[in-house]
């Protein structure tokens, strides 16, 4: 057969060319819709696989153009992000099937053979039995479309459910719930393989609330768990393939368990665990499409655990690197040591007092610790100057918010945090820097950080002056309301300060040493204000 593959990823094209060429097919490759149409106009193409999301021309648009040129060419769409709407739209556009990435080559071949048989049957019916079979064919296509839409809806639900998990524990819990939803069996178990001998240990088990009730429910789950462990110890994980045959039905010899559907979970292609659904009351053999969904859920669970571990490792490494920059910066200036930590603590207290959600406080946790990271790009002669900065020097130090935002931006993880770092020196009346933003145009979390930053600056020793007396510090905050600071944030500050919350938190963060000086009362000083 002459087969056309359209995908903007070269490794995928190389893989399918090698596989299908070895099966004696003539393979044509295109990187986009335009190249594909040129091939179709010059060659006799019998089947086309195309990616759904491509630059320039989407897979749906390509299918439409192919249908206009030759409506006998079956088109199969591939995508890594399925949705019900996309499936219906593409299938209505003449697409004959819809595959979910990552796609196994053997699966592609089976789908192609099925599609070509179906295409041949359709053409035969059109030619020989058009009037008689027309209505029945339409009903069949409608039924297949409905079934395909339902299947895609379930696969999409599996993807969205597992991708929303924020921890390995949550991934396991969601996987168990999905197994019960997919199979409608009585219970589901997630076993992990322990040690070199792959000894199974139950990580989580759950009964179907619709099927299992009564006081004996917990004992039944435990007894079945022992049966399953015994069964798994006798079963090679290699014999539980990620395919429709991954089911063992009519397991009478096990006692409680009558039917089993098992799917392996792998990490980096190594056995990691097994997802098992069981029935206690029926000798059920689950339909092939149900087993397929269960296997898909197990595969996706393994990928989610792997991705979560990778993301957390990257996130922690990046944050550790950036925080090391902050420590390097503060090591240059003894006066600002612990400054970022205190500013973050005060900002988090203000966010909580203002009723902001936990997510906002998590953003401040990053932005607060990194808000002065841009000073790494400012020379010591300016950063540590004991006297007043001249105009050029002040213009230079005004660059540090943009430098810090750019450093964070290169990491590609913290867009909100980047904007807070960029804008923490903006003033409510528009007289701040670097962009002169005013009022509501300044991100609210940056307005919070501004109050925390100034308060810590005036209450600690700096290179150019000693810390200021308490009344002076409070007047700076109070008189800045409406011009330097957002009044709402100032009100929250004094609400906490009058109750002693801010003072207590700052004292907790003070270095414990013999020469430690309490935050207040400060020494009276005639030195200039900042």
3-state secondary structure of 460: coil
The listed range with the strongest mean pLDDT (268-277, 376-385, 422-431) is 422-431
The arithmetic mean of pLDDT across residues 90-116, rounded, is: 77
41-45, 219-223, 343-347, 471-475: lowest mean pLDDT where? 219-223
Residue 334 has pLDDT above 90, yes or no: no
User: Looking at residue 166, what DSSP letter applies?
Assistant: -
Residue 461 has pLDDT above 90, yes or no: no
The arithmetic mean of pLDDT across residues 364-386, rounded, is: 81
Each residue's pLDDT tens digit, 135-154 = 677 777 777 777 777 777 77
Give the sign of the dihedral formed by CA 496, CA 497, CA 502, CA 507. negative
Q: Which residue pairs from 495-504 have beta carbons closer than 8 angstroms and sit at least 24 positions apart in sequence?
A: 495/353, 496/349, 496/350, 496/353, 501/349, 502/346, 502/349, 502/455
- Range(s) for CATH 1.10.3210.10 in the chain? 333-509
| Half-sphere exposure at residue 387, Cβ-oriented, CA atoms within 13 angstroms | 2
Consecutive H or E run containing 28: strand 26-30
The listed range with the strongest mean pLDDT (27-41, 66-80, 383-397) is 27-41
pLDDT band with cut points at 50, 70 and 90 for residue 284: low
Residue 36 has pLDDT above 90, yes or no: yes
- As a whole-number percent, the residues of the chain with pLDDT over 70 amount to 78
Residue 283 has pLDDT above 80, yes or no: no
The arithmetic mean of pLDDT across residues 476-497, rounded, is: 94
- pLDDT score recorded for residue 486: 94
The arithmetic mean of pLDDT across residues 188-206, rounded, is: 76
The region that residue 430 occupies, defined by phi over 0 for left and psi between -120 and 50 for alpha, beta otherwise, is left
- pLDDT score recorded for residue 266: 80
The arithmetic mean of pLDDT across residues 75-85, rounded, is: 76
Residue 445 has pLDDT above 90, yes or no: yes
Q: Judge if the upstream peptide bond of residue 66 is cis by omega within 30 degrees of 0.
A: no
pLDDT band with cut points at 50, 70 and 90 for residue 310: low
- pLDDT score recorded for residue 434: 92
CA atoms of 199 and 201, how far apart (whole Å): 7
Residues 6+ apart with CB under 8 A from 244: 288, 291, 292, 295
The arithmetic mean of pLDDT across residues 444-457, rounded, is: 93
* Pair of tokens at residue 303: 């990928």
Residue 12 has pLDDT above 50, yes or no: yes
CA atoms of 61 and 76, how far apart (whole Å): 13
The arithmetic mean of pLDDT across residues 361-386, rounded, is: 82
The CATH number of the structural domain formed by 2-122 is: 3.40.50.2300
User: Looking at residue 466, what DSSP letter applies?
Assistant: P
CATH architecture of 333-509: Orthogonal Bundle (1.10)
Burial of 224 (0-12, 13-18, 19+ CB in 10 A): buried
- As a whole-number percent, the residues of the chain with pLDDT over 90 amount to 22
Each residue's pLDDT tens digit, 37-66 = 999 999 999 889 999 888 889 888 888 888
The CATH number of the structural domain formed by 165-310 is: 3.30.450.40
- pLDDT score recorded for residue 513: 46
* Pair of tokens at residue 455: 């308060």
- pLDDT score recorded for residue 252: 45
- Range(s) for CATH 3.30.450.40 in the chain? 165-310
- Range(s) for CATH 3.40.50.2300 in the chain? 2-122
pLDDT band with cut points at 50, 70 and 90 for residue 195: low
Mean pLDDT, rounded, of the chain: 79
> Strand 259-267 vs strand 199-207: parallel, antiparallel, or unpaired?
unpaired
């Amino acid at each position: 057969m002459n087969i056309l593959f359209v995908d903007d990823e070269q490794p995928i094209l190389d893989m399918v060319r090698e596989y299908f060429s070895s099966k004696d097919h003539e393979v044509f490759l295109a990187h986009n819709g335009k190249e594909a149409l040129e091939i179709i106009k010059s060659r006799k193409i019998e089947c086309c696989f195309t990616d759904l999301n491509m630059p320039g021309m989407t897979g749906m648009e390509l299918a439409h153009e192919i249908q206009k040129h030759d409506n006998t060419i079956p088109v199969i769409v591939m995508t890594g992000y399925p949705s019900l709407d996309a499936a219906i739209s593409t299938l209505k556009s003449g697409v004959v099937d819809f595959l979910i990435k990552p796609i196994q080559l053997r699966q592609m071949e089976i789908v192609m053979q099925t599609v070509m048989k179906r295409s041949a049957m359709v053409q035969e019916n059109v030619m020989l039995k058009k009037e008689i079979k027309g209505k029945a064919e339409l009903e069949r296509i409608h039924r297949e479309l409905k079934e395909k839409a339902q299947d895609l809806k379930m696969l999409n639900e599996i993807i969205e459910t597992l991708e929303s998990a924020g921890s390995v524990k949550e991934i396991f819990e969601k996987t168990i719930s999905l197994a019960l939803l997919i199979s409608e069996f009585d219970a589901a178990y997630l076993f992990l393989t322990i040690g070199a001998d792959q000894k199974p240990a139950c990580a989580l088990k759950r009964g179907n609330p619709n099927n299992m009730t009564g006081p004996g429910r917990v004992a039944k789950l435990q007894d079945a768990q022992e049966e399953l462990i015994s069964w798994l110890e006798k079963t090679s994980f290699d014999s539980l393939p990620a395919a429709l045959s991954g089911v063992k039905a009519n397991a009478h010899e096990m006692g409680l368990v009558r039917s089993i559907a098992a799917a392996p979970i792998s990490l980096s292609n190594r056995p990691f665990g097994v997802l098992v659904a069981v029935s206690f009351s029926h000798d059920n053999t689950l339909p092939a499409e149900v087993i397929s969904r269960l296997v898909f859920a197990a595969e996706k669970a393994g990928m989610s655990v792997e991705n979560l571990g990778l993301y957390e490792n990257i996130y922690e490494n990046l944050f550790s690197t950036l925080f090391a920059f902050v420590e390097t910066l503060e090591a240059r200036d003894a006066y600002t040591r612990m400054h970022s930590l205190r500013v973050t603590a005060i900002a988090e207290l203000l966010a909580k007092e203002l009723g902001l959600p936990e997510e906002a406080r998590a953003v401040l946790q990053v932005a607060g610790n990194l808000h002065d990271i841009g000073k790494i790009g400012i020379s010591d002669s300016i950063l540590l100057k004991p006297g007043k900065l001249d105009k050029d020097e002040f213009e230079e130090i005004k660059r540090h918010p943009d430098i810090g935002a750019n450093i964070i931006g290169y990491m590609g993880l913290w867009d909100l945090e980047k904007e807070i770092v960029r804008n923490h020196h903006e003033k409510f009346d528009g007289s701040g820097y670097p962009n002169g933003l005013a009022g509501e145009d300044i991100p609210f979390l940056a307005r919070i950080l501004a109050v925390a930053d100034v308060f810590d600056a005036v209450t600690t020793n700096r290179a150019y002056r000693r810390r200021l007396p308490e009344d002076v510090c409070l007047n700076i905050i109070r008189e800045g309301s409406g011009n330097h600071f957002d009044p709402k944030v100032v009100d929250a500050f004094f609400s906490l300060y009058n109750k002693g919350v801010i003072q207590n938190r700052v004292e907790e963060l003070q270095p414990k040493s013999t020469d430690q000086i309490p935050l207040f009362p400060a020494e009276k000083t005639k030195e200039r204000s900042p």
